């Protein structure tokens, strides 16, 4: 029996462990290690309408049980990925979640339309700045986030996930997105942070601030997935610092139906498969399935 | 640019996650020479390639050049710099670590006499090129620089083992010649030596050595040390601006032709 099988917005996943956006590129770098189809899914690096060069270096630095990154959304632009990477990725038999972003609703929609033939799901990155709306991230403004979501929904027939930011209010944004027709949520994106270089007396990162990820943020992820699950019936892709099978099960209990692994893959390219195997073993010991655990922390005693 | 696929780029080695057993941890002044048993990596490194080494208790691995490989053993030079490298140099023999390897492109094989210009642990990325040049019968000029005399033991344990004479420069004049190693390189180039220049060390040193080589119309190569997380082309942390666009040090480098880099 397959204890790990899970259906999510009409797509069947052989296991619930997927890669997180920006930590696996488009999969090519890891394709010689194992068949990419063995992963629950691959979430691609964020794709924008035009190429973006990214932030100045250093772009990453380690922190206690975590890391800060400010890659600056470097990517080749949607046309390059539709030409090279996405068709190849689908040929590998992998399930694909394409992460899309832009600087105004129409740009998100244009990317979503172009990647849809290769996407099982679309994940909308709302953490980028709304350049026509005071440069606040869309994710911090319920109405701006909803406008993006409506534009993307009009542009694609694929289910659409909204990726939520822990740096602003989650529940009002989620409510506005639900009203706008979102199909599910993914969370959490990174927490904004900073580290100083004592010799230079300046921030370490070229971009000054960056996104904190890794085990340090796992409790924040568990809390926010838990809170969101209490306030929505839509399915949740949970992530934040997952490094072990136990971590994945914590997020499942909080309400995550799928779980993404990100920073852990940098240290261990086999991490998503190892974590899926650990979950399988933990469930086998208990004679339970993944779905027995999804949201189970919310059931009455 | 997203790095080319493994299928397209046959030059790129097939890396994997390998186990390393620390057998020796020897201080060399402020640096440490770490020797590992790594049978699955025997003979796998080309000069200038690197590995991405796990550090117990740390979230990210550390990219390090391979100083030497002998049979099943390989050696690294680690200079304690931040929390990760400080923990690395305190590991006792018997510790098992993991390494993604072999990574990066490495230096082109020398096709004539070479000049090596190094600073600090940059020696590690150059030593295999020095050995390859000696094997082919080419002359190897070595210019090493440090703030003071702290690199003397490192230089002896590396270049010294190959029988190479090192022109050592200290900024404070405490050992060897006072000044910067690029002074030695400039003298050599001005004498008309037909050398290729290989430089690894602090950015300023590599830049100065490269600009000198270009001025004298000699080929030059550097190994750029840019903060990286994955080491394999996925995280896009280690961006390098080149004349043919943005590249990434982990897969397009770490070795770049000096004339390609936008200094």
Nearest to B230, CA basis, from B248, B210, B256, B209? B248
**Residue A264 resides in a domain:** yes
Query: Which CATH number fits the domain that encloses residue A125?
Result: 3.20.20.70
Domain B114-222, CATH among 3.20.20.70, 3.40.50.80, 3.40.1280.10, 3.40.640.10: 3.40.50.80
- For residue A237, name the pLDDT band (cuts at 50, 70, 90): very high
Q: Cβ contact (<8 Å) for A25 and B2?
A: yes
How big is chain B, counted in residues? 263
Encoded tokens for A26 = 């488009």
Nearest to A142, CA basis, from A167, A170, A161? A170
Q: Cβ contact (<8 Å) for A59 and B59?
A: no
Residue A107 contacts residue A77 (beta carbons within 8 Å): no
**C-alpha span between B117 and B181 (Å, rounded):** 7
* Span B137-185, pLDDT tens digits: 999 999 999 999 999 999 999 999 999 999 999 999 999 999 999 999 9
pLDDT at A135: 77
Quick one: how far is CA A117 from the chain centroid? 20
The domain spans of chain B are 16-103, 114-222
Nearest to A36, CA basis, from A47, A26, A21, A46? A26
Give A24-28 contacts, CB < 8 A, sequence gap 24+: A24/A265, A24/B234, A25/B2, A25/B233, A25/B234, A25/B235, A25/B236, A26/A81, A26/A85, A26/A86, A26/A88, A26/A89, A26/B2, A27/A89, A27/A92, A27/A94, A28/A85, A28/A88, A28/B3, A28/B5, A28/B6, A28/B233
Residue A215 contacts residue A63 (beta carbons within 8 Å): no
Q: Which CATH class is domain B16-103?
A: mainly beta
List residues of chain A with CB under 8 Å from any CB of chain B.
22-26, 28-33, 45, 53-54, 57-63, 65-67, 69, 71, 74-76, 80, 85, 88, 214-215, 263, 265-270
Q: Which of B1, B2, B8, B58 to mutate to test the interface with A (most CBs of A within 10 A)?
A: B2
pLDDT at B11: 53
Catalytic residue among A42, A68, A128, A187, which?
A128
Write down the ipTM of this complex.
0.95
Whether A182 is catalytic = no
Kindly give the pairing relationship between strand A42-43 and strand A17-19: unpaired
Q: In chain A, how many domains are there?
A: 1
Report the residue from B5, B54, B234 with minimal CB separation from A267.
Answer: B54
Percent of chain B surpassing pLDDT 90: 94
Encoded tokens for B247 = 């590249």
- Closest approach of A289 to chain B, Cα-based (Å): 30
pLDDT at A131: 72
For A25, residues 6+ apart whose C-beta sits below 8 A from its C-beta are A44, A45, B2, B233, B234, B235, B236
CATH topology match: B16-103 vs B114-222: no
Task: Please check the confidence at residue A280 and state whether its pLDDT lies above 60.
Answer: yes
**Residue A31 resides in a domain:** yes
Find the residue in A nearest to B228 (Cα). Answer: A60
Q: Which of A59, A72, A193, A262 to mutate to test the interface with B (most CBs of B within 10 A)?
A: A59
**Residue A81 resides in a domain:** yes
Nearest to B29, CA basis, from B162, B131, B181, B144? B144
pLDDT at A300: 83
**Residue A1 resides in a domain:** no
Domain residues for A225?
Answer: 6-298
Query: What's the average model confidence in pLDDT over B43-63?
Result: 97
């Amino acid at each position: 029996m397959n204890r790990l099988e899970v259906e999510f917005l009409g797509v069947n996943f052989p296991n619930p462990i997927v890669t997180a956006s920006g930590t696996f590129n488009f999969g090519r770098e890891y394709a010689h290690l194992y068949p990419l189809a063995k992963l629950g899914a691959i979430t691609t690096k964020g794709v924008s309408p035009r190429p973006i060069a990214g932030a100045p270096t250093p772009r990453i630095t380690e922190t206690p049980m975590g890391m800060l990154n400010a890659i600056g959304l470097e990517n080749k632009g949607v046309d390059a990925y539709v030409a090279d990477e996405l068709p190849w990725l689908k040929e590998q038999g992998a399930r694909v979640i394409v992460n899309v972003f832009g600087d105004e609703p129409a740009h998100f929609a244009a990317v979503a339309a172009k990647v849809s033939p290769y996407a099982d799901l679309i994940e909308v990155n709302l953490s980028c700045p709304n350049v026509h709306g005071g440069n606040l991230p869309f994710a911090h403004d319920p109405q701006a986030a909803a406008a993006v979501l409506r534009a993307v929904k009009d542009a694609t027939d694929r289910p659409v996930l909204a990726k939520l930011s822990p740096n602003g209010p989650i529940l009002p944004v989620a409510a506005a997105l639900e009203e706008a027709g979102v199909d599910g949520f993914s969370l959490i994106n990174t927490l904004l942070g900073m580290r100083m270089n004592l010799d230079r007396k300046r921030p370490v990162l070229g971009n000054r601030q960056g996104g904190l990820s890794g085990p340090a943020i796992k409790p924040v992820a568990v809390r926010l997935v838990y809170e969101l699950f209490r306030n929505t019936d839509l399915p949740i892709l949970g992530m934040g610092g997952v490094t072990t099978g136990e971590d994945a099960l914590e997020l499942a209990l909080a309400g995550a139906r799928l779980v993404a692994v990100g920073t852990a893959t940098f240290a261990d390219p086999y991490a998503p498969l190892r974590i899926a195997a650990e979950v399988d073993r933990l469930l086998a010991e208990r004679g339970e399935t993944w779905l027995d655990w999804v949201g189970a922390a919310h059931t009455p005693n | 640019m997203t790095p080319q696929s493994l299928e397209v780029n046959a030059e790129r080695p097939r890396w994997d996650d390998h186990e390393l057993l620390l057998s020796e941890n020897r201080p060399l002044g402020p640096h440490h020479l770490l020797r590992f048993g790594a049978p699955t990596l025997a003979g796998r490194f080309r000069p200038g390639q690197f590995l991405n080494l796990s550090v117990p208790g740390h979230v990210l691995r550390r990219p390090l050049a391979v100083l030497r490989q002998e049979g099943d053993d390989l050696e690294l030079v680690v200079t304690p710099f931040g929390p990760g490298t400080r923990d690395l140099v305190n590991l006792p023999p018997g510790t098992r670590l993991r390494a993604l390897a072999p990574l990066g492109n490495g230096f082109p094989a020398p096709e004539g006499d070479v000049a090596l210009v190094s600073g600090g642990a940059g020696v590690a990325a150059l030593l295999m090129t020095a050995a390859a040049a000696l094997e082919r019968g080419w002359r190897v000029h070595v210019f090493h620089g440090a703030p003071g005399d702290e690199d003397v033991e490192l230089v002896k344990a590396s270049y010294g083992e190959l029988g190479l004479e090192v022109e050592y420069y200290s900024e404070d004049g405490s050992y060897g010649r006072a000044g910067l190693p690029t002074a030695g390189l400039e003298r050599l180039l001005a004498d008309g030596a037909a050398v290729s220049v290989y430089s690894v060390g602090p950015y300023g040193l590599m830049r100065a050595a490269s600009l000198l080589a270009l001025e004298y119309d000699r080929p030059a190569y550097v190994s750029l040390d840019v903060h990286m997380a994955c080491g394999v082309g996925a995280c896009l942390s280690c961006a390098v601006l080149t004349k043919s666009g943005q590249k990434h040090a982990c897969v397009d480098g770490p070795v770049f032709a000096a004339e390609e880099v936008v200094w």
